[in-house]
Amino acid sequence: MFSLKKESCQLALLIILSIVLFIFIVSSELSGFMKGMISILLLLATGMAIRKITNADGWSGFVMLKVKEGISFINWFDKTIGKWMDRIADFGLVFGFGLLSLKLFKHIEKKFILFSILLLVVFTVFISPYLTLIALTTMNIPGVDAKTASETGFIPFASLLILIIGGYVGLLIFGLVVKSVSILVSLLSFVLGASEVIDSTPGVSFVIPGLTIPLFEGAIALLILLVVHEGAHGIESLRSKVKLKSTGFLLLGFIPVGAFVDIDENSLKKRKAKDKLRVAAAGPASNLAVMFLFFIPTMVLLYLMPTFYANHLIIAGFTRNIDAVSQDTLSNLSANTVIYSVNGIQLNSLSDYYSVKDKIPANSTVLLKTDKGDFSVKTDQNGKIGILLSQPIKPEFQWVYSLYLIFALSTVLNFFVGVINLLPVQMFDGYRIVNESVKDKRIVTFVSYLVLTLILLNLLPWIWQR
């Protein structure tokens, strides 16, 4: 007769209970900040309980799940694609630091740097706008909807110049500075009473399956990203004759948030500067390479997606507390409510809604016809109704949409994580790169703390946004 060990039963019950509680939290009416904080506390508690039951390595609620087959897997890939890794890593360095690469990375030929910058410009002008559109329509970013996404394709000359000189690291830092100033000015105006509106759009978003990205598809995309990232570090380490001690995944509770390749750091320190730079850059550079692989099938599915849509819209969320003429019926206006028309104009697609939305006057009353009755809703001073709409997929084609989400999230997450990892912040690969390339460590420390401060400032709106 088959019997389960006591520990296995405890572990299974713990994970099931944690998943149920997690889904309950992210589906609640709490603000995004409260959802995030409570979810993180739940995952930390779950992780600590898992470590106690299994005696797994880790710290606090983070669990290190070691995989013995990981080193064999990396060895196989090293023999298969290892010869390309040096070039991929070097391209990642130029992608991240632009023309500064001429000063920072002496091992990369000038011709290769200039060619890589040409590719960088082509990518930014012709491909990155589509990445922005895909990201904003698959990730839950507060204050931003699909209409905004379609308007973000313009690349100002100043931004393009910064990109060429400082790569995506320079462009990211510039963007963090601009958004930080916007948030601080908005906050100061609100506190002093000069404005009744406060900037509620964070400049930096969490990536949490079930909260900011779809749970199932998001977890798969994260798993792909983590395997690619850490596997590339491992491959480049082997090419540099550095021993791998162990490999595995890092879990926060039951959610994969990282992977690890335990490298012999003492051996790595003895290697040449170019080897250390390539080992550090291999992870984010490979994420960027894999992004290109997922981009094409993602665009094909995106082009075909309208054929799978239903001919109606539903409420996906709210951007503010809605003032309704009839408060008794407002409680029925909730997520997944079907919207048939606005002010008598029938809505069959998001395009129909956008054409109507732009013509709605400020501080007016809008009539919504829904599957739960008619609602009279007041617009704000900007003419916004305060609802986010989406066009659902026909039930028989849900699997196509799930496939699209996996491909789309694998595209944008590999790009964002690859680029963000190049930032010179401690614990990021970019810090190792800058620390190895810049002799004056005071500059390294200053830039590291500056970027960390900017990231924290960009997270502030999560506190007050709903």
Rg of the Cα atoms in the chain: 24
Q: At what angle do helices 128-138 and 273-304 cross, to 10 degrees?
A: 70
Q: What is the mean pLDDT of residues 442-455?
A: 96
Q: According to the model, what pLDDT value does residue 147 have?
A: 47
Task: Please tell me the number of Cα atoms within 13 Å of 361 on its side-chain side.
Answer: 3
- Work out the pLDDT band at 371, boundaries 50, 70, 90: confident
pLDDT at position 386: 78
β-partners of residue 58 are 63
Provide DSSP, 318-331: ESSPPPBS-HHHHT
Q: State the pLDDT at residue 199.
A: 66
What values do phi and psi take at 220, rounded to 5?
A: -65, -45
Q: What is the rounded average pLDDT for all residues in the chain?
A: 86
Of 23-32, 55-64, 314-323, 430-439, the range with the highest mean pLDDT is 430-439
Confidence of residue 154 (pLDDT cuts 50, 70, 90): very low
Residue 320 DSSP class: S
CB-CB contact of 64 with 250 (8 Å): yes
Q: How far apart are CA 106 and CA 192, in angstroms?
A: 51
Q: Which helix (DSSP H) or strand (DSSP E) does residue 262 occupy?
A: strand 255-263
Nearest to 52 by CA among 212, 60, 40: 60
d(CA 353, CA 341): 9
Stretch 159-172: mean pLDDT, rounded? 95
- Residue 117, C-beta contacts closer than 8 angstroms, at least 6 positions apart: 94, 98, 99, 164
Q: For the segment 85-113, what is each residue's pLDDT rounded down to a tens digit?
A: 999 999 999 999 999 999 999 999 999 99
Residue with tokens 């162990």: 246
Yes or no: say if 458 and 202 are a contact pair by the CB < 8 Å rule.
Answer: yes
Distance CA 464, CA 466 (A): 7
Extended strands (E) in 343-406: 345-346, 365-370, 373-378, 387-390
Residue-wise over 330-350: b if at least 16 C-beta within 10 A, else e? beebeeebebebbeeeebeeb
pLDDT at 287: 97
Name the architecture of domain 310-392.
Roll (2.30)
Q: What is the pLDDT of residues 182-225, one digit of tens each?
A: 999 988 988 888 777 676 678 888 787 877 888 889 989 998 99
Q: Is the CB of residue 149 less than 8 Å from the CB of residue 132? A: yes
Token pair for 274: 């170019």
Cα–Cα distance between 2 and 374 in angstroms, integer? 58
CA 103 to chain centroid, in Å, comes to 31
d(CA 424, CA 444): 8
State how far the Cα of 212 lies from the Cα of 33, in Å rounded to an integer: 11
pLDDT of residue 27: 80
In the predicted model, is pLDDT for residue 381 greater than 80? no
**Which tokens belong to 298?**
């993602």
- 259: helix, strand or coil: strand
Work out the pLDDT band at 389, boundaries 50, 70, 90: confident
Is the pLDDT assigned to residue 150 strictly greater than 70?
no
pLDDT at 422 over 90: yes
Please report the sign of the dihedral spanned by the C-alpha atoms of residue 213, residue 218, residue 222, residue 225: negative
The model's confidence at residue 418, banded by pLDDT at 50, 70 and 90, is very high
Whether 36 shows a pLDDT value over 90: the answer reads no
Q: Please report the pLDDT score of residue 196 as a whole number.
A: 73
Instruction: State the pLDDT confidence band at 148, using cuts at 50, 70 and 90.
Output: very low
Instruction: Pick from 67-81, 152-166, 319-333 the range whose average pLDDT is largest.
Output: 67-81
Rounded-to-integer distance, Cα 211 and Cα 28, Å: 11
| Bridge partners (DSSP) listed for residue 244 | 263
Taking 90 as the threshold, does the pLDDT of residue 42 lie above it? yes
Whole-structure pTM value = 0.80
Contact 358, 335 (CB under 8 A): no
Tell me, what's the pLDDT at 201? Answer: 78
| CA gap 98, 199 in Å, rounded | 32
Give, as one character, the DSSP assignment of residue 349: S
280-307 residue pLDDT tens:
999 999 999 999 999 999 999 988 988 8
Q: What pLDDT shows up at residue 101?
A: 97
Structure tokens at 19: 């998943």
Q: What does the alpha-carbon distance between residue 199 and residue 465 come to, in Å, rounded to a whole number? A: 9
Residue type, 426: Q
Q: What is the C-alpha separation between 168 and 124, in angstroms, rounded?
A: 10
Look up tokens 């931004």; give the residue: 159
**pLDDT score for 1:** 34
Residue 142 has, within 13 A of its CA and on its CB side, a CA count of 26
Mean pLDDT (whole number) for 164-187? 94
Query: If you search the block for the tokens 């997929």, which residue do you land on?
Result: 393
- Answer whether residue 130 shows pLDDT above 80: yes
